[in-house]
Structure formats: C-alpha cells, structure tokens
Structure 1
Amino acid sequence: MNRKKKLYQIHQKRLKAAKAKGNAKNKVGYISKAERAKIEEAKDSEEVSVEQE
C-alpha cells in the first residue's frame, strides 16, 4: 500500500471516530422480555383504574 493511500485511510478513520463521538447516542438500552411484560402489566392496570373512575 502506498504512503498516500495509507495516510488517507488513517485520516478517514480518525474523522469517522470523531463524528461518532460527537453524535449523541439515542438508542434505548436492552429491556428483557420479563421487564417488558412488567411494564405492559403496569400500563394495563393503570388504564383499568382510570376507566373505573
């Protein structure tokens, strides 16, 4: 690999890393199936209590 290409690739790699670091991470963390079931159950019970009133 010639020197110019190698320097270009290193530069592009550093730019990509800088952009990734600058962007905010908006992905929600993993929620297990059991936790999702608990959340759904809580939501359903709140809806039922609101409808009864």
Structure 2
Amino acid sequence: MNRQKKIKQLLKAHAKKASAKLAPRKPKYICKADRAKLAAEAAAEAEPRVES
C-alpha cells in the first residue's frame, strides 16, 4: 500500500507541475514609483505638441 501511495503522490506532483507550466502567468509586479513614472511618460506622449 505504501508503494502505491508514493507512486500516486509522485504522479500527482508531476501533473501539478505540468499544469502550472501551461497556466497563464501573472504579470510581473511593478512598484508604485515605476507605475507613476510610466503614467507621466504616457501623459506626456498623449499631450499634443504644437510646433511653430
């Protein structure tokens, strides 16, 4: 019984790892300062430039 349990446990662990690889990944965390910097850059680009 113990051998069967170990084999089943190993197979379950391998299946869990395989499904984790296929699962979509969470986006990488971006710190608050970097988010503010990106927002400022986007706002600067969205602002129409008037050249005369």
State the TM-score, normalizing by the size of structure 2: 0.65
How far did 1:18 drift? 2.1
Q: Which has the higher helix share?
A: 1
Q: Which secondary structure does the structure 1 equivalent of 2:29 belong to?
A: coil
For 1:4 and 1:39, how far apart are their aligned partners in 2? 54
State the TM-score, normalizing by the size of structure 1: 0.64
Residue 48 of structure 1 corresponds to which residue in structure 2?
Answer: 47
Map residues 1-40 of structure 1 onto 2, 5 A cutoff.
2-21=2-21, 23=22, 25-40=24-39
How far did 1:36 drift? 0.4
Partner AA of 1:27 in structure 2: K
Unaligned runs of 5+ in 2: none
CA RMSD of aligned residues (A): 2.4
Deviations for 1:5-42, whole angstroms, at most 9, x for unmatched residues?
22111111111112223x16532212111110011111
User: After TM superposition, where is structure 1 displaced by more than 3 Å over at least 4 residues in a row?
Assistant: none
